[in-house]
Amino acid sequence: MGEIFEFDFFSILLSILYLVLVLGLLITLLSYENKVKKNAVFSLCWAVSFYYFIFLVNHFFSFKSIPPDTIYYASIINDYWNNYDTWTISVKLYAIINFVPFQLSMGYPVVFVIFNIFFFYSGIIFIGKSFIKITKYYDVPISNNFMMQLFFYASFYPVGIFVIPTLLREGSMVFFFGLSTFLLVETFTAGNDKKWIIRGLLLASISLLTLIRPIGGVSFLTGLFVIYMLKIFKSKSMKKIFYSLFSFIIFVFLINFIVDYFYNLSFSFAWIEKFRASHFELFGKESYGTDLNWNGLFNSLKSTLLLFLQYLFSPFPIIISKEIALQKLIPLFDAMYILVSFIPLIFITKTKPLKIILLFAFILLIIPSIFETHISGAFRHRMNAIVLLMPVFVYSINKFLLNSIKKLNANQ
């Protein structure tokens, strides 16, 4: 790890400078449209500092290995122009999008870690603000300390702690996902005079999200379209339903084109079976779901459900062996973090905005789960959906505790 993340006197000074600037930018972003509470600022500073602290501890003591892809991104940061042409199209696109941060890192991968943490918590801020805005729109009361609690909750996201302070794409992915979600909520709540500008920015943000992680962009567009279709069908306008169905057909062709362009695939259960089976040779024991039954509708639905559950709760041994699961200690904590986070959702009121968010998160999980074949990829690639659900988890915990206190007081 030390060979990739090397410190010297200049990189230390640069890291300190950027860390201060990043905190300033995040606080400024947090204060946009809202009065900033001190406890939210302190919680944000804690979250950023904690991620960077864990990175430093891991750097000097190497208790957690870094992902192999880190080497690729480090080489581009070290020498952008000489190494750029040697990598895959997805890495090149990521490098282009992060051209400025890469150059500001001055050839030090260790400095870019700070930018990655900045991207992640910017995404969290966008997601948090989106949740506040949509709950206010539906007159759903939330805690005055919501943002403080959200940052604190995000700071203990196990996979985030070890994936975000690296050079991988997840930080940028969460940034554009959060920005896209914020702009999507803005189009829903803003006045008509601003909507076209916001829609243009939304399209640009989704495009960048798709370039960084194609399946993430496809899932976002699918979720957006499903929610739109449900809204149209509820209106019971035959004209709107006709145009919506026509748009849906165009949308399916568009999605098929995007997926075929990036992944060279066409949707069918037979293709999925071959696709997943072929990845056993690539990943060996790290692959999963390579021998599922896709013959017939019932078996296909059963296999889809198993893949969804394995993707969401990896590395719990749902369709993987216990031996593989026990080798993934930090991801096991991550799976428990997610499982425990879901429990309070059972007890909260099923309000409309929460239903919409849960549906959107489900789509963000179900589509990638079908194509994810590497157990270690599942931990990182489900991050957008988990980040989207974090505000819901915080809200549900508050709601659950409040209801418990009320019941306790009533029984006394």
**Other beta carbons within 10 Å of 232:** 18
Q: What is the pLDDT of residue 266?
A: 64
Strands (E), 56-98: none
Q: What is the pLDDT of residue 262?
A: 63
- Segment 238-243 shows an average pLDDT of 72
Query: Do 23 and 114 contact (CB within 8 A), yes or no?
Result: no
pLDDT in tens, 340-385: 988 877 766 677 788 889 999 999 999 999 989 888 889 899 999 9
pTM above the 0.85 mark? yes
In this structure, of 51-55, 70-74, 153-157, 199-203, the range with the lowest mean pLDDT score is 70-74
Residue 1 has pLDDT above 60, yes or no: no
Grade residue 235 by pLDDT with cuts at 50, 70 and 90: low
Query: Do 394 and 150 contact (CB within 8 A), yes or no?
Result: yes
More confident residue, 240 or 145: 145
Q: What is the pLDDT of residue 129?
A: 95
- Segment 98-120 shows an average pLDDT of 94
Of all residues in the chain, what percent carry a pLDDT higher than 70?
Answer: 91
Sequential DSSP letters for 324-368? HHHT-HHHHHHHHHHHHHHGGGGGS---HHHHHHHHHHHHHHHHH
Structure tokens at 320: 């993987």
Grade residue 175 by pLDDT with cuts at 50, 70 and 90: very high
Question: What average pLDDT does the chain have?
Answer: 86
Residue 41 has pLDDT above 90, yes or no: yes
